Amino acid sequence: MDAVQFAAHGDREVVEYGPSPEPTLGSDDVLLDVRAGALNHLDVWTRRGLPGIDLDFPHVPGSDAAGVVVAVGDAVERFGPGDRVAVTAGRSCGACEFCRDGEPTLCVNYEILGEHCPGVHAERTAVPADALVPVPEGVDWTTAGAAPLVFGTAWRMLHTRGEIDAGETVLVLGASGGVGHAAVQIADHAGCAVIATASSDEKRATARRLGADLAIDYEARDFADAVRAETGQRGVDVVVDHVGAATWRQSLRSLANGGRLLTCGATTGPTPETNVNRIFGNQLSVHGSTMAGPGEFDDVLELVWDGTFEVLIRAVLPMSETARGHELLEEREGFGKVVVVPDSEYEGGADE
């Protein structure tokens, strides 16, 4: 079979697509015939190399995928051949204190498919059964392959960690990205007023269509100044910041007294300068968050599958052009998710 892979960390040219060993099916695993996957900024960081993570090369990346079950391990009862499923990526050990307390996303041995261990961007992949969710008939493969990680992440960040309430004002940075466009819709669905940031007229118009009440051009003006002006100098109750170093100080300045800053990533760098005086003086809270747990995935994906939330796709590419997909993410081209499809499936389209 063929798979996306790289034999060393580096720039986009290290990404290849070619022969890879067939996956080995464990007793708790499901063998999946992949119909579509999706890229995340996590794939870019994994390709470049993440501190403290030693990969076995060649490494198959990818944390998002959906497809049809081909076979199941002896211990699997939940799924059978022919089932439509999507990957949820996170793997907890089930034995540490956090897992025992019902908090698997805080697991001390937590792994993410494609980051800590082999991923799912291949013609076929073996995935633990507890890292899969059913996909209803009628949901197209691009949606199924692109939704879980970003919508699960945004849902946990806003509802579980941020505890947003109707009537609050939420600022979403980078609304054109995967997590950003999910967060806009989730906050709007919860009854919040939503302010989004985006760099082009087209992106800002799309953010408004998805539920943003106001969209700010962060390249034309300091977005914290704009937020203060639009809220009568009060600021917002919640900021969703997955950008990191480039936006951190403005994010803190955008918050009202007692506000919450939610973070799930740092695409511009993980070590921003922080005004500690503002944090304690204005009694701000900073909440870190990662991807969703099982119940959270169920809650948000039900709203994706029924069409309440829209998964925007900026490009559908064959897996042999995954490097181009990395370029789209790194250059911030387009709005929404980049989907990759096995070359053997691509000619007929991912939605068939």
d(CA 226, CA 202): 19
CATH 3.40.50.720 holds for 153-288: yes
Write down the pLDDT at residue 190.
98
148-170 confidence digits (pLDDT tens) = 999 999 999 999 999 999 999 99
Nearest CA-CA partner of 303 in 151, 172, 165, 175: 151
Write down the pLDDT at residue 256.
98
Phi and psi at 107, nearest 5°, equal -50, 135
Taking CA 309 as the corner, what is the angle to CA 90 and CA 170, rounded to the nearest 5 degrees? 85
DSSP for residue 179: H
Q: Taking 60 as the threshold, does the pLDDT of residue 351 lie above it?
A: no
Q: Taking 80 as the threshold, does the pLDDT of residue 49 lie above it?
A: yes
Q: Taking residues 328-349, what's their average pLDDT?
A: 89
Mean pLDDT across the chain, nearest whole number?
95
Q: Taking 80 as the threshold, does the pLDDT of residue 348 lie above it?
A: no
Write down the pLDDT at residue 336.
94
Write down the pLDDT at residue 267.
85
Q: Taking 60 as the threshold, does the pLDDT of residue 349 lie above it?
A: no
Q: Taking residues 289-301, what's their average pLDDT?
A: 94
Write down the pLDDT at residue 352.
44
Could you write out the three-class secondary structure of 113-174?
ECCCECCCCECEEEEEHHHEEECCCCCCHHHHHHCHHHHHHHHHHHHHHCCCCCCCEEEECC
Positive/negative CA dihedral, 132, 154, 339, 20? negative
Q: Would you identify the CATH topology of the domain 2-147+311-346? A: Quinone Oxidoreductase; Chain A, domain 1 (3.90.180)
Q: Taking residues 329-350, what's their average pLDDT?
A: 87
Q: Taking 90 as the threshold, does the pLDDT of residue 270 lie above it?
A: no
Write down the pLDDT at residue 268.
85
Q: Give residue limits of the domains in the chain.
A: 2-147+311-346, 153-288
- Lowest mean pLDDT segment, chosen from 11-15, 71-75, 218-222: 218-222
Taking CA 188 as the corner, what is the angle to CA 186 and CA 257, rounded to the nearest 5 degrees? 95
Q: Taking 50 as the threshold, does the pLDDT of residue 177 lie above it?
A: yes
- Lowest mean pLDDT segment, chosen from 6-15, 75-84, 129-138, 340-349: 340-349
- For residue 68, count other CB atoms closer than 10 A to its CB: 16
Q: Taking 70 as the threshold, does the pLDDT of residue 350 lie above it?
A: no
Write down the pLDDT at residue 269.
85
Same CATH fold assignment for domains 2-147+311-346 and 153-288: no
Write down the pLDDT at residue 91.
87
Rounded to two decimals, the pTM is 0.95
The pLDDT confidence band at residue 38, using thresholds 50, 70 and 90, is very high
73-126 confidence digits (pLDDT tens) = 999 999 999 999 999 999 898 899 999 999 999 999 999 999 999 999 999 999
224-240 confidence digits (pLDDT tens) = 999 999 999 999 999 99
Whether 267 contacts 242, CB under 8 Å = yes
